[in-house]
C-alpha cells in the first residue's frame, strides 16, 4: 500500500511539472520555452498578463502581449482572465502606466505574430488559440495554462 | 512673461519631437487634460473668510473653485524603457494657475529613473510623488483618473499641507508570501521640506535632515481592487518665526530660526468592486517645536476624504457622493500658512480650511473620455455656498 501511494505521489509530481498540452477549442497561455516557470493557475496567469508581476521567478522581465481588435481569443481573455470589459482594460493600462510607469503591452494582429514574439523573448507571455500552434513551434514555446473557448 | 512663453513653446516642440521618436525608440508619451464649466451661487459660505481671503489669501481666488469656463492645462508623461530593467519617466505639467485667471506655468511633477530588480525590491531615484497615502500616489489631480471633480485640498501642491512631491530615493516592492494576499511597501529618503510649505526642494537641500516615509499596503484578493494602507512620514523643517497674525511678515536674514519636527500619519482604504467603489483617506500631521521658541506646540492638522460611487449601466455611469475636510491649527500654525517671496520675506497668508459635500455623476463617454457633473456645498470658508461644475476629462 505504501509503495502504491509512493508511485501515485511520484506520478502526480511528474505530471504537474510537465508542460501542458492544449487541444483545439482552447485558449493556450504560452511563454518562451526558456522560461523556467511551471504550469500557472488562473490567478498567476492574470498577474503576469496584466503585469501585476513584472519579473519572472528567474528574474527575467515579464513581456505581456495582447491582441488587436475583438477576435474570439481576446474575448475569452477579457472575460475569463482579465475579468474586465475592453474599456476597463484600457483604463487599467492608463492607470498602471501613470501610477507605476509600466508601459502598455503591444497589441499584435494574429496568433502567428504572437507566437513569433513569444519565441523571440525569454520573458514573453500571451494567449493564442491552441489550434494555431504548429508542431515545429512547440519546441520554442511552452503552454503554461489553458482556458476553454466557447 | 515672454521668456516663460518661449520656454513653454520649446517644451511643446520637444514633446512633439519625442512623440515622433516614440515610433522608433521604446518611448511612450501619454497624458491628461480637462476642461470645465462652473457656476457659483448663494455668495461665500462665510463673508468674513471671503473678505480675509481677498486681502490676504494665497491666490487671487480660492483654489480649484470653478467659475466660468476653465482649463487646467495639459499633463504629459514620457516613459522610456532604456533596458529590460531600467525605465525613465518624466511628467511635465503645462498648467494654468488654479487660483488665478490666466497665468501659465511649467511644473515638473516627476522625473526619475526606475531600476526594476525583482517583484520584491525596486528602486526609483529622482523626483517622484511622495509615496504616502492613496490620492497622492495614484490620482494626483488628474481629472480623468478621478470619479469626482473637486481637486482635494489636502494633497494640493499649491497648499503643501502634506509633502506631495519628493526628490530622493524610493524603494518599493510587492511581498506575496501569504496565500492570495499580498503586501505592497514603499520607503523613501528625500530632501527636506522647504522654508514654506509650497516650495519644493528639488535641488540642494543644504544639509537639512532628510524626510523619511514609509508605506505598507495590504492587497486583499477580493473585488477588482481592495487595499488597506498605512503610511507616514517624518520630516524636519527649518524655517523662521513669523508673527501670529495673518499678514505678519519677517525677512529670513533677520528673523529668528524655527525648527519643527513633523510627523504625519496617512491611512486609507480603497475598494473598487463590480457594483460600487469606496475611497476613505485620512491625514493627521503634528509639528513639534524643537527649539522651544514657539507657543502652542504641538501644532496639529487633520484632513479627510471619503467618496462612495456606484458602477451602473455596464460600468459606464458612476453616481457619487463625497465629503472632504481640512482642519488647520489656529491661524495655520508656524508653517502651513507661510509663503516666501523672491526677496526672502516670509508672510503669513490666509489658507482657508475646507469642508464640503459633493454630489455628482461621472459618465464614461469613451474609454478615455469621462464627462462629469457635480454640485458642491461648502459648509464654511471663502468659497461660494454652492457650485455646479461640468467637466470633460480625457487621457491619451
Return the C-alpha cell found at B284: 493627521
Residue pair B395/A94 in contact (Cβ under 8 Å)? The answer is yes
Coil/strand/helix, residue B20: helix
Residue of B nearest to A122 (CA): B84
Q: Given pLDDT bands bounded at 50, 70 and 90, which one contains residue A79?
A: very high
Task: Return the pLDDT at B15.
Answer: 56
Cβ within 8 Å, pair A61-B137 = no
Query: CA B387 to CA B374: how far, in whole Å?
Result: 8
**Model confidence at B358: pLDDT above 60:** yes
Q: What is the mean pLDDT of residues B248-277?
A: 95
B36 DSSP β-pair partners: B70, B391
Q: How many domains would you assign to chain B?
A: 1
**Model confidence at A132: pLDDT above 70:** yes
Residue of A nearest to B137 (CA): A99
How far, CA to CA in Å, does A111 sit from each of A62, A68, A136, B137?
19, 10, 15, 37
**Model confidence at B21: pLDDT above 80:** no
Query: CA B335 to CA B318: how far, in whole Å?
Result: 39
**Model confidence at B168: pLDDT above 90:** yes
- Percentage of the residues of chain B whose pLDDT score is greater than 90: 67
| Pick among B23, B91, B116, B141 to test the A interface (most A CBs inside 10 A) | B116
Q: How many domains would you assign to chain A?
A: 1
Please name the member of B84, B114, B145 whose beta carbon is closest to the beta carbon of A61: B84
Please name the member of B118, B138, B142 whose beta carbon is closest to the beta carbon of A59: B118
Q: Pick from B289, B285, B376, B387: which is nearest to B327 by CA? A: B285
Mean pLDDT of chain B: 89
Q: What is the mean pLDDT of residues A117-145?
A: 93
What is the domain-level CATH number for residue B62?
Answer: 2.40.160.10
Task: Return the pLDDT at B224.
Answer: 87
Q: What is the mean pLDDT of residues B36-52?
A: 94
What is the DSSP code string of B109-139? Answer: EEEEEEEEEETTEEEEEEEEE-S-SSIIIII
Asked if B118 is an interface residue toward chain A (Cβ–Cβ < 8 A), one would say: yes
Residue B20, burial from CB neighbour count under 10 angstroms (0-12, 13-18, 19+): exposed
Among the ranges given (A139-143, B51-55, B93-97), the one the predictor scored with the smallest mean pLDDT = B93-97
Task: Return the pLDDT at B20.
Answer: 46
Q: How far is A51 from chain B (nearest CA, A)?
A: 10
Cβ within 8 Å, pair A85-B138 = no
Return the C-alpha cell found at B236: 524636519
Complex confidence, ipTM: 0.84
Asked if B314 is an interface residue toward chain A (Cβ–Cβ < 8 A), one would say: yes
Contacts of residue B3, defined as CB under 8 A and 6 or more positions apart, other chains included, come to none
**Model confidence at A1: pLDDT above 70:** no
Query: Residue holding cell 511644473?
Result: B107
Residue pair B211/B190 in contact (Cβ under 8 Å)? The answer is yes
Task: Return the pLDDT at A4.
Answer: 60
Q: What is the mean pLDDT of residues B284-292?
A: 94
Task: Return the pLDDT at B214.
Answer: 98
Among the ranges given (A11-20, A86-95, B109-118, B121-130), the one the predictor scored with the smallest mean pLDDT = A11-20
**φ, ψ for residue B212, nearest 5 deg:** -115, 135
Give the CA diameter of chain B: 63
Cβ within 8 Å, pair B116-A123 = no
Cβ within 8 Å, pair A98-B142 = yes
Give B303-313 pLDDT, tens digit per residue: 999 999 999 99
Query: CA B251 to CA B235: how far, in whole Å?
Result: 23
Cβ within 8 Å, pair A95-B138 = yes
**Model confidence at B156: pLDDT above 50:** yes
**φ, ψ for residue A13, nearest 5 deg:** -60, -45
Query: CA B339 to CA B337: how far, in whole Å?
Result: 7
Asked if B370 is an interface residue toward chain A (Cβ–Cβ < 8 A), one would say: no
Q: What is the mean pLDDT of residues B343-351?
A: 94
Task: Return the pLDDT at B24.
Answer: 43
Q: Which domain holds residue B50?
A: 2-395
A135 DSSP β-pair partners: none
Query: CA B159 to CA B121: how far, in whole Å?
Result: 33
Q: Given pLDDT bands bounded at 50, 70 and 90, which one contains residue B77?
A: very high
Residue pair B158/B99 in contact (Cβ under 8 Å)? The answer is yes
Asked if B223 is an interface residue toward chain A (Cβ–Cβ < 8 A), one would say: no
Please name the member of A86, A94, A103 whose beta carbon is closest to the beta carbon of B81: A103
Q: What is the mean pLDDT of residues B237-249?
A: 92
Question: B358 or A42, which is more confident?
Answer: B358
**Model confidence at B235: pLDDT above 70:** yes
Cβ within 8 Å, pair B30-A123 = no
DSSP classification of residue A46: H
- Percentage of the residues of chain B whose pLDDT score is greater than 70: 93
Residue pair B114/B79 in contact (Cβ under 8 Å)? The answer is no
| Pick among A98, A120, A123 to test the B interface (most B CBs inside 10 A) | A98
Interface size, chain A vs chain B, as Cβ–Cβ contacts under 8 Å? 59
Residue A44, burial from CB neighbour count under 10 angstroms (0-12, 13-18, 19+): middle
| CB count in 10 Å sphere of residue B207 | 8
**Model confidence at B140: pLDDT above 50:** yes
Q: Which domain holds residue A43?
A: 2-148
DSSP classification of residue B57: B
What is the domain-level CATH number for residue A126?
Answer: 3.40.190.10
- Residue B19 Cα to chain centre, angstroms: 27
**Model confidence at B22: pLDDT above 60:** no
- Length of chain B as a residue count: 396
Which residues does chain B have within 8 Å of residue A60's beta carbon, measured at their own beta carbons? 84
Query: CA B132 to CA B145: how far, in whole Å?
Result: 18
Task: Return the pLDDT at A112.
Answer: 94
Task: Return the pLDDT at A13.
Answer: 47
Q: Pick from A148, A99, A31: which is nearest to B77 by CA? A: A99
Q: Given pLDDT bands bounded at 50, 70 and 90, which one contains residue B204?
A: confident
Query: CA B295 to CA B331: how far, in whole Å?
Result: 13
Among the ranges given (B33-37, B98-102, B222-226, B387-391), the one the predictor scored with the smallest mean pLDDT = B98-102
Q: Given pLDDT bands bounded at 50, 70 and 90, which one contains residue B23?
A: very low
Task: Tell me whether strands B317-327 and B268-272 are parallel, antiparallel or unpaired.
Answer: unpaired
Residue pair B65/B58 in contact (Cβ under 8 Å)? The answer is no
Long-range contacts of B283-288 (CB under 8 A, 24+ apart): B283/B133, B283/B154, B283/B161, B283/B162, B285/B161, B285/B162, B286/B262, B287/B237, B287/B260, B287/B261, B287/B262, B287/B329, B287/B333, B287/B334, B287/B335, B288/B260, B288/B261, B288/B262, B288/B263
Residue of A nearest to B146 (CA): A95
Mean pLDDT of chain A: 86
What is the DSSP code string of B273-290? Answer: -SSEEEEEEEEEEEEEES
- Residue B198 Cα to chain centre, angstroms: 11
Give B312-341 pLDDT, tens digit per residue: 998 999 999 999 999 998 778 899 999 999
Residue of A nearest to B364 (CA): A87
Give A10-55 pLDDT, tens digit per residue: 554 454 455 577 666 899 999 999 999 989 998 899 999 999 999 9
Residue of A nearest to B109 (CA): A98
**φ, ψ for residue B111, nearest 5 deg:** -160, 100
- Length of chain A as a residue count: 150
Q: What is the mean pLDDT of residues B267-284?
A: 96
Q: What is the mean pLDDT of residues B22-45?
A: 85
Using beta carbons and an 8 Å cutoff, which residues of A are at the interface with B? 43, 52-55, 59-61, 83, 85-88, 90-91, 94-95, 97-99, 101, 103-104, 123
Return the C-alpha cell found at B2: 515672454
Please name the member of B26, B137, B180 whose beta carbon is closest to the beta carbon of A43: B180
Cβ within 8 Å, pair B30-A98 = yes
How far, CA to CA in Å, does B335 sit from each of B62, B108, B299?
20, 24, 9
Amino acid at each position: 500500500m505504501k509503495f502504491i501511494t509512493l508511485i501515485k505521489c511520484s506520478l502526480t509530481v511528474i505530471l504537474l511539472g510537465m508542460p501542458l498540452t492544449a487541444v483545439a477549442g482552447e485558449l493556450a497561455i504560452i511563454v518562451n520555452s526558456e522560461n523556467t516557470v511551471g504550469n500557472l493557475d488562473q490567478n498567476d496567469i492574470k498577474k503576469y498578463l496584466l503585469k501585476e508581476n513584472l519579473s519572472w521567478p528567474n528574474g527575467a522581465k515579464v513581456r505581456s502581449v495582447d491582441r488587436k481588435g475583438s477576435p474570439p481569443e481576446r474575448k475569452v481573455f477579457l472575460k475569463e482572465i482579465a475579468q474586465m470589459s475592453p474599456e476597463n482594460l484600457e483604463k487599467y493600462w492608463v492607470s498602471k502606466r501613470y501610477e507605476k510607469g509600466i508601459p502598455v503591452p503591444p497589441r499584435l494582429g494574429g496568433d502567428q505574430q504572437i507566437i513569433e514574439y513569444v519565441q523571440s523573448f525569454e520573458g514573453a507571455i500571451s494567449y493564442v488559440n491552441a489550434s494555431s500552434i504548429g508542431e515545429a513551434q512547440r519546441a520554442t514555446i511552452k503552454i503554461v495554462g489553458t482556458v476553454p473557448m466557447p | 512673461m515672454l521668456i516663460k512663453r518661449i520656454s513653454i513653446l520649446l517644451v511643446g516642440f520637444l514633446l512633439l519631437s519625442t512623440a515622433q521618436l516614440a515610433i522608433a525608440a521604446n518611448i511612450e508619451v501619454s497624458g491628461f487634460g480637462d476642461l470645465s464649466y462652473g457656476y457659483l451661487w448663494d455668495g461665500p459660505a462665510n463673508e468674513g473668510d471671503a473678505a480675509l481671503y481677498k486681502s490676504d489669501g494665497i491666490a487671487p481666488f480660492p483654489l480649484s473653485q470653478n467659475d466660468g469656463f476653465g482649463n487646467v492645462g495639459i499633463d504629459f508623461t514620457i516613459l522610456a524603457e532604456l533596458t529590460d530593467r531600467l525605465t525613465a519617466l518624466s511628467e511635465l505639467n503645462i498648467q494654468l494657475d488654479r487660483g488665478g485667471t490666466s497665468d501659465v506655468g511649467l511644473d515638473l511633477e516627476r522625473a526619475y529613473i526606475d531600476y526594476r530588480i525583482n517583484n520584491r525590491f525596486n528602486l526609483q531615484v529622482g523626483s517622484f510623488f511622495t509615496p504616502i497615502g492613496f490620492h497622492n500616489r495614484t490620482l494626483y489631480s488628474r481629472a480623468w483618473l478621478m470619479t469626482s471633480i473637486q481637486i482635494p485640498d489636502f494633497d494640493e501642491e499649491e497648499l503643501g499641507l502634506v509633502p506631495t512631491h519628493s526628490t530622493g530615493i524610493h524603494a518599493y516592492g510587492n511581498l506575496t508570501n501569504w496565500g492570495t494576499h499580498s503586501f505592497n511597501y514603499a520607503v523613501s529618503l528625500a530632501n527636506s521640506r522647504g522654508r514654506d510649505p509650497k516650495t519644493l526642494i528639488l535641488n540642494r537641500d543644504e544639509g537639512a535632515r532628510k524626510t523619511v516615509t514609509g508605506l505598507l499596503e495590504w492587497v486583499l484578493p477580493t473585488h477588482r481592487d481592495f487595499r488597506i494602507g498605512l503610511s507616514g512620514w517624518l520630516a524636519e523643517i527649518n524655517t523662521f518665526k513669523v508673527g501670529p497674525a495673518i499678514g505678519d511678515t519677517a525677512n529670513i536674514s533677520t528673523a529668528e530660526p524655527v525648527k519643527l519636527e513633523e510627523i504625519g500619519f496617512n491611512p486609507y482604504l480603497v475598494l473598487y468592486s463590480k457594483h460600487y467603489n469606496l475611497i476613505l483617506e485620512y491625514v493627521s500631521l503634528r509639528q513639534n517645536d524643537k527649539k522651544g521658541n514657539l507657543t502652542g506646540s504641538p501644532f496639529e492638522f487633520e484632513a479627510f476624504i471619503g467618496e462612495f460611487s456606484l458602477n451602473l449601466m455596464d460600468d459606464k455611469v458612476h453616481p457619487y457622493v463625497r465629503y472632504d475636510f481640512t482642519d488647520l491649527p489656529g491661524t495655520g500654525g508656524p508653517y502651513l500658512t507661510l509663503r516666501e517671496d523672491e526677496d526672502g520675506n516670509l508672510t503669513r497668508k490666509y489658507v482657508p480650511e475646507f469642508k464640503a459635500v459633493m454630489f455628482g455623476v461621472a459618465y464614461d463617454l469613451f474609454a478615455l473620455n469621462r464627462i462629469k457633473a457635480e454640485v458642491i456645498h461648502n459648509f464654511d470658508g471663502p468659497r461660494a455656498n454652492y457650485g455646479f461644475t461640468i467637466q470633460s476629462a480625457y487621457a491619451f
